[in-house]
Structures are given as C-alpha cells and as structure tokens.
Amino acid sequence: MTKKGDMLYAWTTNADLAKKAECGGAVTGLLAYALETKMVDAVLAVKRGVDLYDAVPTVITDPKDISKTAGSLHCGSLLLSKLVNSYVPGLSGKKIGIVVKGCDMMGILELAKRNVINLNNILMIGVNCGGSVNPTSARRMIKDKFGVDPDTVHKEEIDKGQFIIEYEVGQKGISMDELEDAGYGRRSNCRRCKLKIPRQADLACGNWGVIGEKAGKATFVEVCSEKGANLLDKAVSAKKIAVEPANPKGVEIRAKVENAMLKLGDKWRRKDFTALSPNLWKTIDKETSRCIKCYSCIDNCPVCFPFADRFKKSSLMVQQGFLPVEPMFHMRRFAHISDTCINCGQCEELCPAEIPLALFSHAIRTESDAAYNPKLGKAAYIN
Ligand code: FAD
Ligand code: SF4
Ligand code: SF4
Ligand code: SF4
C-alpha cells in the first residue's frame, strides 16, 4: 500500500502512451485510469497546438483522447486555475483531474479559499517545474541565440541546466544561465519562483532523481495525499501503472537539485527586488502611468478575477472612460494582492503596456510575508 510521503519510480504500461510521454508517462497513464474508472469525469490538461510554442488547454472526457496531452511544453506559460473556473459551469458538481505546475496549484488553492471551487471535486496531478519560457520570447531566443529558424524546431527540452532544441539538421543546447544573462530563458517570475515541487497537489511528478536504467523511462512520483496514494494503488493493481521504490541515490540527487533551484530563486529575488530599491513606489508610479486600463491584469489574476467586476465598477478605484489611469487604481490592486500574489506572472505577461506587474506584486508579497512571519527570516530587499 502506498502512503503519503512515499517516493517511487512509476511508468505507464501502455506502449503508445510511453512513446508520446515526457518521461515514464505516469501522469498520462494515471489520468487515463482515473477517466476509465470514473474517478474523474473530465481531465483539464495541455496539448500541443500548431507547434511547440502553442500550448492549448483542453478538456478530455474520453480516455481514448488522453494521449493528445502527453509530453511537456516548456513554452506553455499558461495558468490553468482560471480555466477551471471558466469550465466549472459546464462541469458543475463533476470531478475534474488537473495537471498542475506549482503556480497552477497555488491558483486553484486561492480559488478554493474563496469558495469558487470545491477541492473535493479536484484531483491535482502536480508536475515539478523549473520554469517556463514565454512562447514569443522563445521564438526570438531560438532565432537570435541558437541561430535557428524557430519554425524548423520540432522538439525542445530543459535538461541539466540547458535549453535544448531538436531541429531539422540536429540538436543544439545552450545553458540557461547564459541565455538568462542575455535576457532570454525562463520568464522573470519563474526565475524567482520557489515552488519547484508541487507538494500541495495529490502527487508530485517529475524527472529529477530518476537515475540508472530507469533514467528517461520512469517518472519520479512523490505521493502527497491519501487521494494520490489511492489513485496510484488502484492503477498499479489494475496493471495500468508499474512502480518500484525510487533509488535512494536518486532521492538524494533530487533533493540536491531542488535545493540548488531554491537558491537560484533567492538569487533572482535578490537581484530583481534590490534593483527596485530604494524607489519602489516611485518606480511603480512611473511604470503604471503607461496603463491603458484594459483590465487584463485583473481578469487573468487568480486572486483578483473573482472580484473583477466589483473592482472595475468601483468609482473609488477608477473613473470610467478616462486615461491616464489614476495611480490609486494600481495602488489598490497591489494592496489587494499584497498577501496573496502567487507570482504566476500572468498579469505581467498579458499586459499590453509591458508593465512589470508581477515583479511589483511579488516584491510586495515577499516583503509582507517577511514582515508578518519572522520565521521566514529577513527578506527585506527593498529599503
Ligand atoms: P506525461 O505523461 O508526458 O504528461 C505530462 C503532462 O504535463 C500532460 O498532462 C500535459 O498536459 C502537462 N503539461 C505539458 N505542458 C504543460 C504546461 N506548460 N503547463 C501545464 N501542464 C503541462 N520535472 C522536473 O523534475 N524538473 C523540472 O525542472 C521540470 N520542469 C518542468 C517545466 C515545465 C514547464 C513542465 C510542463 C514540466 C516540467 N517538469 C519538470 C515535469 C516533467 O517535464 C514531466 O512533466 C514529469 O516528469 C511527468 O512526466 P510524465 O512522462 O509522467 O508526463
Ligand atoms: Fe513553473 Fe513557478 Fe514558473 Fe509556474 S511560476 S511556470 S511553477 S517556475
Ligand atoms: Fe499572478 Fe500577477 Fe495575480 Fe500575482 S498579481 S497572482 S503574479 S496575476
Ligand atoms: Fe493597465 Fe496593463 Fe493592467 Fe491593462 S494589463 S489594466 S494596461 S496594467
């Protein structure tokens, strides 16, 4: 019997799924099993659209279709929590399986806190996440730094600190450090993110720590809840998933990589937040003066969107139909998310005025965490 805290190597027993999957295909195999046995009525995951820069969220109800979602799209910087909410009317009262990165998981938890969704109906299969690359910037990076036409790339992966592409005449890899020093690579919120293993999901799945003959052929699974343990046990009994205990050396390596990623996150926080010092509010004031009041930041923020209409209609916040925007509009939004911003990056990524909104809200959140929770230690980067 599997229990919370167990660490396993797991892989699908379905040869077709194994071919399409990123590593062992445990994620897709488990979702297929959950659908077949009606543990869930639908799955919300991501499939490749026209090319590898096009990550398309998709709802699957027929287990035969689940293979379309296998594989990782590192240029898929979307957030699934908003979509759960959008799909809820159609799936009201139904059980949904969702594949979540750390930010997707946090977005779902924020919605649950606000009673927008019921966690009893949600099965969260977490995937570890070193970071995602904005699709437009990925195309630019491949052209400028790799010297390759982005349309000729058919596969990408992030492995051992390198962004690797496979294209029509071969393979090329460049270290993430080099790419990021040149202003490419992972989104800036991802560099600061410290939610690398989503342990508040039911299972946390990844490739870190899979070594020996199973390297590349198994998924490392950390069991994070009884719900996750139950799914895994049943799928193993039905012979849909095979498992073995994780190699202890692999467990050690995974912990070391996670630790190194957390330190890297701290390094980026120091760099990004200190650059805002000492004039955070002046910088915010100046940058947000470009705002065109499109409300995209509010509509796509997992913390704000349940209140979006109230926010937009409040005469305290905005004078309808006028530009430039009143500084209080942004100040109030930042105050609203100051203790809840999950650093998902959506506000910044979708802002047509290219205002570094996630940087501001993440800096404010980090400072307020440090102020209210001394155990977190001094995180005061901003003077
Ligand atoms: P599969 O059976 O192939 O299933 C993969 C699942 O991921 C599918 O359900 C698919 O819909 C979903 N998916 C694909 N792209 C996205 C996306 N952009 N957002 C949300 N869901 C998506 N593992 C590590 O150990 N270390 C890492 O640094 C790491 N970084 C990652 C970064 C990203 C952006 C992603 C998406 C995954 C990352 N992973 C990382 C997880 C790893 O790539 C595999 O997803 C995991 O090992 C499960 O393997 P599998 O063969 O069981 O998955
Ligand atoms: Fe991954 Fe964190 Fe970036 Fe989300 S914010 S894509 S969990 S690194
Ligand atoms: Fe995500 Fe921005 Fe909202 Fe923070 S403020 S949760 S980064 S959308
Ligand atoms: Fe203003 Fe950008 Fe928000 Fe649109 S997304 S309302 S332009 S800050």
User: How large is the greatest C-alpha to C-alpha distance in the chain, in angstroms?
Assistant: 63
Query: What pLDDT is attached to residue 68?
Result: 96
Q: How far apart are CA 123 and CA 65, in angstroms?
A: 19
Q: How far is the centre of ligand 3, averaged over its atoms, from the C-alpha of 357 (Å)?
A: 8
Parallel/antiparallel/unpaired status of strands 203-206 and 122-127: parallel
Q: How far is the centre of ligand 3, averaged over its atoms, from the C-alpha of 23 (Å)?
A: 30
User: Are 78 and 57 in contact, with CB atoms under 8 Å apart?
Assistant: yes
Q: For residue range 83-100, what is the model confidence (pLDDT) as tens digits?
A: 887 766 677 788 999 999
Q: How far is the centre of ligand 2, averaged over its atoms, from the C-alpha of 83 (Å)?
A: 17
Q: Which residues does a 6 A CB cutoff place in the pocket of ligand 4?
A: 291-297, 351-353, 355, 357
- When pLDDT is cut at 50, 70 and 90, the band that residue 370 belongs to is confident
User: Are 363 and 273 in contact, with CB atoms under 8 Å apart?
Assistant: yes
Query: What pLDDT is attached to residue 269?
Result: 94
Query: What pLDDT is attached to residue 374?
Result: 63
To 5 degrees, how large is the angle CA 53–CA 58–CA 61? 150
pTM to 2 decimal places: 0.95
Query: In sequence order, what are the residues at sequence separation of 6 or more whose Cβ sits closer than 8 angstroms to the Cβ of residue 283?
Result: 276, 360
In short, whether 101's Cβ falls inside 6 Å of ligand 2 is yes
- Determine the average pLDDT of the residues in 357-381: 77
Q: How far is the centre of ligand 2, averaged over its atoms, from the C-alpha of 195 (Å)?
A: 7
Residue 64 has pLDDT above 80, yes or no: yes
CA-closest residue to ligand 3 atom 8? 301
Q: How far is the centre of ligand 2, averaged over its atoms, from the C-alpha of 299 (Å)?
A: 19
In short, whether 131's Cβ falls inside 6 Å of ligand 2 is yes
Nearest ligand to the C-alpha atom of residue 80: 1
To 5 degrees, how large is the angle CA 164–CA 342–CA 265? 45
Q: Which residue has the tokens 């050396």?
A: 249
User: Are 328 and 317 in contact, with CB atoms under 8 Å apart?
Assistant: yes
In short, whether 70's Cβ falls inside 6 Å of ligand 3 is no
Other Cβ atoms less than 10 A from the Cβ of 231: the count is 26
Buried b / exposed e along 194-224 (16+ C-beta atoms within 10 A): ebbbbbbbbbbbbbbbbbeebeeebbbbbbb
Q: How far apart are CA 335 and CA 104, in angstroms?
A: 22
In short, whether 73's Cβ falls inside 6 Å of ligand 2 is no
To 5 degrees, how large is the angle CA 112–CA 116–CA 121? 65
**Higher model confidence: residue 229 or residue 325?**
229
Q: For residue range 8-55, what is the model confidence (pLDDT) as tens digits?
A: 999 999 999 999 999 999 999 999 999 999 999 999 999 999 999 999
H or E stretch at 284: helix 280-288
- Determine the average pLDDT of the residues in 297-304: 90
Question: Best mutation site among 78, 301, 330, 359 for ligand 3, i.e. most ligand atoms within 8 A of its Cβ?
Answer: 301
Question: Best mutation site among 200, 344, 349, 366 for ligand 2, i.e. most ligand atoms within 8 A of its Cβ?
Answer: 344
Atom of ligand 3 nearest to the CA of 343: 7
Residue 224 has pLDDT above 80, yes or no: yes
User: Are 47 and 56 in contact, with CB atoms under 8 Å apart?
Assistant: yes
CA-closest residue to ligand 1 atom 18? 76
- What does the mean pLDDT of the chain come to? 91
Q: How far is CA 51 from the centre of its chain?
A: 20
- Determine the average pLDDT of the residues in 118-141: 96
Query: In sequence order, what are the residues at sequence separation of 6 or more whose Cβ sits closer than 8 angstroms to the Cβ of residue 274?
Result: 381, 382
- Determine the average pLDDT of the residues in 206-233: 97
Give the CA count within 13 Å in the CB-facing half-sphere of 229: 11
To 5 degrees, how large is the angle CA 21–CA 75–CA 241? 20
Structure tokens at 204: 């946390």
Q: How far is the centre of ligand 2, averaged over its atoms, from the C-alpha of 251 (Å)?
A: 22
Q: How far is the centre of ligand 4, averaged over its atoms, from the C-alpha of 182 (Å)?
A: 27
Q: How far is the centre of ligand 3, averaged over its atoms, from the C-alpha of 347 (Å)?
A: 6
Query: What pLDDT is attached to residue 195?
Result: 96
To 5 degrees, how large is the angle CA 346–CA 382–CA 327? 55
Query: What pLDDT is attached to residue 85?
Result: 73
Residue 347 has pLDDT above 90, yes or no: yes
Q: How far is the centre of ligand 1, averaged over its atoms, from the C-alpha of 121 (Å)?
A: 22
Q: Please list the helix, strand and coil fractions of the chain in percent, rounded to the nearest 5, in that order.
A: 45, 15, 40
**Higher model confidence: residue 314 or residue 162?**
162
Nearest ligand to the C-alpha atom of residue 342: 3
Query: Hey, CA dihedral for 296, 298, 301, 302, is it positive or negative?
Result: negative
Sheet holding 162-167, edge to edge: 153-159, 162-167, 170-175
